[in-house]
Amino acid sequence: MQTEPRVAPEASGSLPLTLPRELWAKMSNEHQAACRSADELLELFASDTPVLLRDVFTRSKLGAEQALAGLRILQGMELVSVEATEDGPLVNLVALPEEHVRIVGPDSQVRWLLVSRPIQPPDIEPSQLN
51-52 and 90-93 beta bridge pairing: antiparallel
Handedness of CA 110, 9, 72, 68 (dihedral sign): negative
Q: Does the pLDDT value for residue 24 go beyond 90?
A: yes
Q: What is the mean pLDDT of residues 12-22?
A: 87
Which pLDDT band, with edges at 50, 70 and 90, does 87 fall under?
very high
| More confidently predicted of 124 and 53 | 53
Q: What is the mean pLDDT of the chain?
A: 87
State residue 121's pLDDT score. 82
Domains of the chain, earliest start first: 17-93 (1.10.10.10)
CA atoms of 58 and 82, how far apart (whole Å): 17
Q: 93 in helix, strand or coil?
A: strand
pLDDT tens readout for residues 88-122: 999 999 999 999 999 999 999 999 999 999 998 88
Q: What angle do CA 37, 41, 42 make, to 5 degrees?
A: 120
Is there a contact between 67 and 41 (Cβ–Cβ < 8 Å)? yes
pLDDT in tens, 27-75: 999 999 999 999 999 988 887 779 999 999 999 999 999 999 999 999 9
Annotate 41-80 with DSSP letters as a single string: HHHHHHHS-SEEHHHHHHHSSS-HHHHHHHHHHHHHTTSE
Q: Which pLDDT value is given to residue 8?
A: 36
